[in-house]
A = this chain, B = another copy of it.
């Protein structure tokens, strides 16, 4: 089971995109600045997000990334799946060959857990995060701190 900085960075960056969705393409440099994630690392993550049709890109000056769909049609589970291989908790990646080609004693437990986590994260859209009060508060603070504000009227 993998749920590390990588998945968290991806969700954070996508949420940043969602929050600034009205402002046209958002450059990774902006996200890097606001969320304090290394630019090069973001580029690697966005390569995967793009391959999985979660974002569209615009090259050249003024370019950047936009959400490929509306924020209520993108779940947290999809984002994590895109950058992490999976959120599967079994040792056999669900194959069921964890003990000498058969399932191990605890295979079903981890399988159930994986499903549970996936269901939870699938039920949470970027849009629902955007409308959480805590997220709003954090975003306002971040915008205050970042002088390099694009001037786009925030929601």
Contacts and interface: CB of A to CB of B under 8 A. Distances in A.
- Copies of this chain per assembly: 2
A105 B103 CA distance: 39
A109 interface: yes
Contacts of A105: 12, 15-16, 35, 129, 135, 138-139, 142
A44 interface: no
Interface in A68-110: 76, 89, 91, 99-100, 102-110
A76 B16 contact: no
Interface of A: 1-5, 8, 11-12, 15-16, 35-36, 76, 89, 91, 99-100, 102-110, 113, 116-117, 120-121, 124, 129, 132, 134-135, 138-139, 141-142, 145
Given A1-B1, A8-B110, A15-B106, 16 more contacts: A1-B2, A1-B3, A3-B3, A3-B89, A5-B91, A11-B106, A12-B104, A12-B105, A16-B105, A102-B141, A105-B129, A105-B138, A106-B129, A108-B134, A113-B117, A113-B121
